[in-house]
Structure formats: C-alpha cells, structure tokens
Amino acid sequence: MDKAVYTRLPWQDEPWQRLQQARQQGRLPHALLFGGPRGVGKEAFALAFAQTVLCPDSDGDGRPCGICRHCHLLHSGSHPDFQWVVPEEESKSGEIKIEAIRKLTASASLTAQSGGHKVVIIQPAHRMNTAAANSLLKTLEEPTRDTLIILLTDQPARLLPTIRSRCQQVLFQIPPHQDSLTWLGGKIKHADGETLLSLASGAPLLALKLDDADLLAARQRMLGQFLSLGKQQKDPVALAQAWTGFDGRLLLEWLAGWVIDLLRLKTAPQPPQLFNRDQTQALHSLADKLNSGALHRYLGSVYEARALIDSNLNPQLVLEKLLIEWRACR
Ligand SMILES: [Zn+2]
C-alpha cells in the first residue's frame, strides 16, 4: 500500500501539534473524528498519524523512524495492527456493513499482535449503514485500551449524534488560497492552479486530482453538451446515457457548479467568484437567456439528485430526470 507513506501537508500544523501533544501526555482519546470538505488532506493526515502512533520510535514531532519493523510493515500494507475499513468494492450500495465493523470490533478486543497500539481508520464513516453504526457505537461505549479508531468523513452530520459525541472531533478546513497555490505549483501540468482550485472549491488535493487531461477534456465536453441541450444537443435521454458510467458524484458537483455560475453571472457580469473561470464566456452567453427563479429551482433538483446518487438510485434515471428538467428550464 504505497499510500501509507508518511506525508505532512503544510496547512495541517495546528491539528498535528495538538494531537502530538495529547499523545505525548498520554491523553489520546479512543476515537477521533476527522471532518471537513473533500480534498483537504484528512486521509493523508490520518495515515501520518497512524504511523506516528504505531512506530515506537516516533520523535517529538511525531515523525516515525521509517526503519523499524512497524514502519516496514505499514509501508508494505501488512501491519497486523492497522486496519483501513472502506465500503466493499463489490457492494453496489457503497455502504460499510456490519460484518466489517464486527470484524474490527473482534480484533480490537484482542491485544495488539505487535504488543503496541492498534489503529483503525473508517472511511467514509457516514457510509456505515445503521446496523454497522450501532455496532461501532457499542465499541465506542466500551473502548479497548490501546486501540485508536479514526473516523473520516466530509459529511459528519450524517453520523449518529451518539457516535459523534464519543469522538474527539478535528475539523479540517479549506487552507488559505495562497498556501494551496504554492503547494500545487510544480505538481500540476494540465491547467493553471487558479483554475483547478476554483473547480475544486479551494481544496488543494482535489485540485491536484482534477489536473488530469482526460478529466478536464471530459468536463469541457460535458459542459458544452449541457449548455447546448435543447439546441445542438437534442435528446436529454441520449445525453444521460452518454454520461452514465462517468463518476456520478463528480458530475453532479460539476453540474451544481455550472448552475451556480450561471446564477452568479446573472447578478454581475464579472463576479468575484466562479467555479468555472475558464468557461466564463460560454456560461455568460447563456445566463442572460435564463430565469433566476428557474435556475434556483433547478439547483435544488441537482442537490436532490446528489443525495439520490449517494443512496444508490440508478444513476442513469437520476441523470435523465435532471436533463429533461434542464431542457424544460431552457
Ligand atoms: Zn518506526
């Protein structure tokens, strides 16, 4: 597992120091909840912190030694006391099920095989179904010594309040714009940092992920198709079909961004903020022809669709309905 490489992101110093202090003073809680938007580095932080906890020779700043057995096992993805719980790949619902939580509960009650700590990361924690969440709650109510459970989510409100209240919460925020630009510089190839950050709502890791030639081309093509639906692009059902198979969640985020930008462009010809700065002209020419009330209602439908796609409704049906509504909106 090559993602288990110790990396610290420059904008995470504050929570890092705070947790290191707690660790050194023996005040680490049994469960941590890392919340905050996607793409700000919660996962990297959790991994780095897991390494700190598992390596017996971490220094005062939490830097693991990198050479001990624990560090090697973590790097090779075979540390017996480290678990990363995610939804099963085959699971159509994308849920984390009770079996996965039971397994971790059972192993958490055993002594660490390596005689040290155990770390479990659950991601995305809001994807636990009800049974799984209740099972985890029992574990949190009777914590095992030396086991640290870290929940990662960009939607903490979707967790049971009883789970949230039993975790120490760490909130990750969008870093200052300039910090993100500096961090991205040198890492990106296909678009400029400003454009990528706008598209990613300021989240630097998401911006880096979007720096992909195919993805950027797909976005441009889809935006063109969306804007011309009802004109060159005639059939919403055919378009929905063409879009099915693409990452539904990302597509709906883009769609929401297009509609929000259309609304912004209706209020000011050069709004200070736009998700799609590079597409201002195309959006602008359409914005004048649309009605604000209808755009607001449509945005509501996009948000509803996002919730439906998350709860596993057939993505093609969701898209069809949205695109038919969009054509009517025109
Ligand atoms: Zn080590």
Task: Report the alpha-carbon distance of residue 18 to residue 176 in Å, rounded.
Answer: 20
CA 114 – ligand 1 centroid, Å = 13
CA 258 – ligand 1 centroid, Å = 47
Write out pLDDT tens, residues 67-109.
999 999 998 989 999 999 998 877 767 889 999 998 887 776 6
10-171 CATH, one of 3.40.50.300, 3.40.50.1220, 2.60.40.10, 3.40.50.11890:
3.40.50.300
CA 79 – ligand 1 centroid, Å = 12
Query: Is there a common fold for 10-171 and 212-329?
Result: no
CA 93 – ligand 1 centroid, Å = 38
Continuous H helices in 88-129: 98-108
Write out pLDDT tens, residues 237-252.
999 999 988 988 889 9
pLDDT of residue 60: 87
Write out pLDDT tens, residues 132-162.
999 999 999 988 888 999 999 999 999 999 9
Considering only residues 233 and 179, tell me which one the structure prediction assigns the higher pLDDT: 179
CATH number of 212-329: 1.20.272.10
- Greatest extent of the chain over all pairs of C-alpha atoms, in Å: 68
Residue 180: half-sphere exposure toward Cβ, Cα within 13 Å:
24
For 317, the token pair is 């049906």
pLDDT surpassing 50 at residue 181: yes
Boundaries of every domain in the chain: 10-171, 212-329
CA 4 – ligand 1 centroid, Å = 13
Adjacent-strand bridge partners of 82 = 119
Which residues neighbour 302 within 8 Å (Cβ) at sequence distance 6 or greater? 252, 255, 256, 259, 322
Task: Report the alpha-carbon distance of residue 100 to residue 320 in Å, rounded.
Answer: 34
CA 67 – ligand 1 centroid, Å = 5
Mean pLDDT for the chain? 90
What is the pLDDT confidence band of residue 2, given thresholds at 50, 70 and 90? very low
pLDDT of residue 109: 66
pLDDT of residue 114: 66
Report CA-CA distances (Å) from 72 to 78, 82, 284. 9, 12, 54
pLDDT of residue 108: 67
What is the pLDDT confidence band of residue 1, given thresholds at 50, 70 and 90? very low
Adjacent-strand bridge partners of 119 = 82, 148
pLDDT surpassing 60 at residue 175: yes
CA 54 – ligand 1 centroid, Å = 8
CA 64 – ligand 1 centroid, Å = 5
| DSSP codes joined into one string, 159-219 | S-HHHHHTSEEEE--PPPHHHHHHHHTTT--SS-HHHHHHHTTT-HHHHHHH--HHHHHHH
Q: Tell me the mean pLDDT in the region 205-225.
A: 95
pTM above 0.95, yes or no: no
Neighbours of ion ligand 1 (CB under 5 A): 55, 57, 64-65, 68, 71
What is the pLDDT confidence band of residue 131, given thresholds at 50, 70 and 90? very high
For 310, the token pair is 């998350």
CA 108 – ligand 1 centroid, Å = 22
Write out pLDDT tens, residues 11-45.
999 999 999 999 999 899 999 999 999 999 999 99
